[in-house]
Amino acid sequence: MSNACTNSGCDCTPNQSIKCTVNNCAHHCQNQDYCGLTSITVGTHEANPTMVECTDCQSFKLK
């Protein structure tokens, strides 16, 4: 996973395949609801996930 383009001091190149509205993530592109990473990892914090709330973006990085 590349993290070369984040929103912490460089221009963010939005990956239009990864929509995101988490503004406090370092990979979120300002003024656009997209992630700047080329790929993300999605995981879960549950043993048997059954709802969307059970999933997590494990590529999240706090600004």
The residue type found at 10 is: C
- Output the CA angle 7-30-33, nearest 5 degrees: 115
Q: How many domains does the chain have?
A: 1
In the structure, how many helices (H) and strands (E) does the chain have? 0, 4
**Which pair of structure tokens corresponds to residue 36?**
């700047």
Flag whether pLDDT at 52 surpasses 70: yes
**Digit-coded pLDDT (tens) for 7-49:** 454 578 999 999 999 999 999 998 899 999 999 999 999 999 9
Cα torsion for 57, 54, 48, 62, to the nearest 10°? 30
Say yes or no to pLDDT of 50 above 80: yes
Q: Which range of residues forms the domain containing residue 58?
A: 1-63
pTM: predicted TM-score of the whole model, two decimal places = 0.76
